[in-house]
Chain A
Amino acid sequence: MFAAISERLEALEESEKEKSALLDFVRLLLFGNRDRFVQNQRFLWQEKFSDHATSFQAAIEESASAICAEIEATPPDRPFDAVFGISSEGMLLPGIAERVVSKLGKLAGNRTMQLDISSAGCTATTRAMQLVASSEIENALVVAMEPTSTMADPKSIARSNWQGICTFGDGTAAAWISKEPGYRAIAIDRTAAWRGEAGDLIQWHWGSDYYRFGIAEPELFETKVRHEVLRAIAALQIEKVPGARWAIHPAGVLLLVSLAKKLGIDRATLQPSIDHFRSCSNMSSVSILHILAGLMANARSGETIQWLSMGAGFHVAYASGTCV
C-alpha cells in the first residue's frame, strides 16, 4: 500500500516538499503490518466522477453476489420479511436492498420490505440491529457493503483524504436477525445508542469530481473521538460482564487500546478486534459483523458477547447478547 501511494503521490503536480511531508504522514498512518481488501485495484487512479460511480456500482454488484451466494448455501426456512441495505459511500438506483432481493429469488417475496440506510457511517449495522430488535419484524436481513476505496481522491492533498485512504478497507457482511433462535446465534439482550455533540467531526468533503473523506479538525481528531466514546460509555452504563467476549469497531489501534483499558478488557479479549484491523483495516459498518462472526464461531452456549461501534454523527452504538 505504501509503495502504491508513494507512486501516486510522485505523479501529483505538487512541490517536492509538500509531497515529502504527505508521504511521511502516510508512513505514520500505515505504520506496522496491516492489510486490507480493495475491490478496485485502480482506486488510486480514479480521475473523474464516472470512475468513482462505476467503481461503486461494480463493488456493490460484486458484494451482493457474494452475500447472496453465502445465504443460498445455508438458506433460512422462510423468506425474509425485510431486507436493509447499508452503505455510506455512494448512491445507486435500484438500491442495495433491491439488488440483494433480486438475487435472493424465493428467499424474498413481493411483500418483503426493502430499505436502504445510507450516510450512517460505521455504527450503521449496530443501529440497524437496534431498529430490528425493537420492531415487530420477525425475519430480517441486514446487509452492509462499504467499498470505501471508491471514495479515495488521489488528486487531493488534503490530509484528511489520505487519512481516510490509509484507514479504510473494502468489505461486505450481512446479519440475519430473527425472532426464532438459531444454531450459533446470539440472543440479543440489550441494544443502546448515544449521540454526541461532535456532529461535524467526521464528514464527507467533496472536490470537483466526487466525495472524499473529511475531518472537521484533523489535529484534534483522535482526542475528540476518544472523549466522545468515553462519554458514551459512561452514559450508556455499559456493564462489565466477567468473561464476556468483545467486538469493538476497529476505528484505529489507539482507540481500541484506550477503550479496552477504560472498559477493563484484557488484551486477549481485545485481540479479535485488533486482528480484524490488521487483516482488513477499518471496513466501516461492515467490520463489526466480521468480528462478531469470528466470536460466534468460537463461543460456547451461554457466553456473553458485547459489541461497540462508533463513528460519524457522532454516534456510539452498543449491544450485548448471549450465545445460543
Chain B
Amino acid sequence: MTDRKQVLEAMSEFFAENFPDIPRDNFEGMKAGEVIQQSLDLVEFVLHLEERLGVEININTLGEKLITRTFGELADDLVAMTHGG
C-alpha cells in the first residue's frame, strides 16, 4: 500500500534530481505546473512516480489535476488512486 509520505518523498526526489535549483521548503504547496515547463518533463515525473511507487498511474484519470493541484493535494489523489479510491 502506498502512503502519502512515500509519494511526497518520491516527488521530492524527482525535483531534487531534475530541478535542483527549485526551493523545496514549501514543497507540498507548490504545483507541478509552476515548476515543469515541458511535457517531456511532466511525463518523466509521472514515470518516475510509477517506478518509485510500483504503481501504474493513469494520466487520464489524474487529468488536469497534474498541473493545477499542489503536490500535497496530488499526493492525496495518488494515495486514493492506489487504494482504489
Contacts and interface: CB of A to CB of B under 8 A. Distances in A.
B26 to A, nearest CB: 22
A291 to B, nearest CB: 16
B44 to A, nearest CB: 7
A223 B56 contact: yes
A279 interface: no
Q: How large is the interface on B (under 10, 10 to 19, 20 to 34, 35 or more residues)?
A: 20 to 34
B68 A32 contact: no
Nearest to B51: A261
The size bracket of the interface on A is 20 to 34
B74 to A, nearest CB: 13
Nearest to A255: B43
In terms of DSSP, what is the predominant structure of the interface of chain B? helix
Contacts of B66: 28
| Chain A contact surface mostly | helix
Given A33-B38, A223-B56, A28 B63 contact: yes
Contacts of B41: 32
Interface in A2-25: 21, 24-25
Interface of B: 33, 37-44, 46-47, 56, 58-61, 63-64, 66-68
Given A32-B37, A32-B42, 14 more contacts: A21-B64, A24-B64, A28-B66, A31-B39, A32-B40, A33-B37, A34-B39, A219-B60, A223-B60, A253-B40, A254-B46, A257-B40, A258-B47, A274-B40
